């Protein structure tokens, strides 16, 4: 039997919904996180995940909540495909480890993390070389720089790395003007990731000529429909990706990926294995490089297993309520706010 929720909302913006807090240890430390906390919200259309990172204030977290509410209240849009190609992510490990990871993944696309603090460029070169070897000629190889390089450095390094055939480079520089300048100087396509999260709208990125491709995550975009809307308005290719979610949040990412009219690139949704566990019995993991479209529900024993200590659960629910009030009450002070509010029908 499903354990009692941490909160059932009787009135206010969340009326009719029930919420369970979970905290799952990370399998590997990522973003300096030891565990991933999420509030799972059950509503008439299913389950939604609210898991903004701790450092985000209410206005940013409101987009994440709009996404969770959309999942709980509105059915996902109709899909146009039911198998979603995904990439394996290669952390800054040694070249042999990187090659083994790619071979064992079954994926045809690999995203290689480069520019790790404390490592020099020779590590990046040997890791990328090993991944190309493991993928073979026909595989797709992209690098993620997390904004670490200046324009000159990025131009030179991408030139070297492209000898192994790059599909694109994700966030090679931190700012939009740098990305735009780099894009004029290199033939390697540029994808924006952190630029979107840090507040530039997808339209700003498109109109400033800073990127060819947008990495979009459903929660920070304010939901599946908002993400599809942004994608259609910018006209750029979109790579739906996860925000380190449980399979409840990943299902929303899969829904977005399955509904985009065009999906030219493998998606960043194969992240379930970064967590040491999941809330569903049959997690959304890839098989031969694809995740099958489905929407698994949390299992009672797993909600119980990952239930955090009482004080942590109370804090998480209090934050949810604070963000919900912000979402409902805040005078629309930014385009994002309006987007989040319009993107979801509140009960």
Name the residues that contact Mg ion, by CB under 5 A. 144, 170, 193
Q: Smaller CB distance to Mg ion: residue 170 or 181?
A: 170
For the question of residue 111 being annotated catalytic, the response is: no
CB of 171 to Mg ion, least distance (A): 6
217 labelled catalytic: yes
Mark 234-263 as b/e (b = at least 16 C-beta within 10 Å): bebbbbbbbbbbbbbbbbbbbbbbbbbeeb
Contact (CB, 8 A) for 191 and 166: no
In whole angstroms, the minimum distance from the beta carbon of 85 to Mg ion comes to 18
How far is the C-alpha of 42 from the C-alpha of 18, rounded, in Å?
Answer: 5
Q: How far is CA 242 from the centre of its chain?
A: 2
DSSP classification of residue 256: H
Smallest separation (angstroms) from Mg ion to the CB of 123: 18
Between CA 190 and CA 212 the distance in angstroms is: 5
Cβ 207 to Mg ion shortest distance, Å: 22
Residue nearest Mg ion by beta-carbon distance: 193
Contacts of 341 (CB under 8 A, 6+ apart): 66, 327, 328, 332
How many whole angstroms separate alpha carbon 229 and alpha carbon 260? 10
Q: Which is nearer to Mg ion, 6 or 144 (CB)?
A: 144
For 183-202, b/e burial (b = at least 16 CB within 10 A) is beebebbbbbbbbbbeebbb
How many residues belong to the chain? 347
Tokens 């909160």, residue located: 7
In 182-271, the DSSP E strands lie at 190-192, 213-217, 237-241
Q: In this structure, what token pair is assigned to residue 291?
A: 């995740």
Nearest to Mg ion of 144, 178 (CB atom):
144
Catalytic residue among 36, 113, 225, 319: 113
Complex with Mg ion: residue 48 or 172, whichever CB lies closer: 172
Nearer to Mg ion, 86 or 320 (CB): 86
Beta-strand pair 83-85/88-90: unpaired
- Of the residues 132, 217, 225, 319, only one is catalytic, namely 217
> Could you tell me the smallest distance in angstroms from the CB atom of residue 146 to Mg ion?
6
Nearer to Mg ion, 244 or 255 (CB): 244
- Nearest approach, Cβ of 70 to Mg ion (angstroms)? 24
Provide the annotated active-site residues.
113, 217
């Amino acid at each position: 039997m499903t354990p009692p929720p941490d909160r059932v909302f009787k009135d206010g913006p969340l009326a009719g919904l029930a919420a369970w807090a979970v905290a799952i240890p990370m399998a590997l430390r990522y973003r300096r996180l030891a565990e991933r906390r999420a509030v799972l919200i059950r509503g008439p259309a299913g389950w939604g995940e609210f898991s903004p990172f701790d450092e985000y204030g209410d206005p940013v977290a409101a987009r994440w909540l709009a996404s969770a509410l959309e999942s709980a209240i509105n059915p996902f849009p109709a899909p146009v495909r039911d198998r979603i190609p995904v990439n394996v992510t290669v952390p800054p490990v040694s070249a042999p480890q990187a090659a083994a990871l790619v071979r064992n993944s079954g994926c045809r696309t690999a995203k290689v993390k480069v520019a790790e603090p404390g490592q020099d460029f020779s590590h990046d070169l040997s890791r990328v070389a090993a991944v190309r070897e493991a993928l073979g000629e026909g595989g797709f190889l992209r690098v993620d720089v997390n904004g670490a390089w200046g324009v000159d450095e990025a131009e030179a390094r991408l030139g070297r790395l492209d000898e192994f055939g790059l599909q694109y480079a994700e966030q090679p520089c931190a700012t939009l003007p740098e990305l735009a300048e780099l894009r004029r100087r290199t033939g390697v396509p540029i994808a924006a990731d952190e630029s979107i999260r840090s507040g530039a709208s997808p339209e700003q990125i498109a109109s400033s000529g800073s990127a060819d491709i947008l990495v979009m995550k459903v929660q920070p975009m304010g939901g599946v429909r908002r993400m599809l809307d942004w994608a259609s308005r910018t006209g750029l290719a979109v790579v739906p990706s996860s925000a380190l979610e449980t399979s409840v949040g990943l299902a929303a990412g899969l829904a977005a990926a399955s509904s985009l009219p065009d999906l030219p690139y493998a998606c960043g949704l194969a992240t379930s294995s970064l967590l040491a566990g999941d809330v569903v019995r049959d997690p959304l993991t890839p098989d031969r490089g694809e995740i099958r479209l489905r929407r698994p529900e949390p299992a009672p024993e797993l909600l119980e297993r990952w239930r955090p200590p009482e004080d942590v659960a109370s804090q998480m629910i209090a934050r949810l309520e604070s963000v919900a009030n912000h979402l409902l009450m805040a005078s629309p002070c930014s385009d994002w706010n309006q987007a989040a509010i319009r993107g979801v029908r509140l009960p």
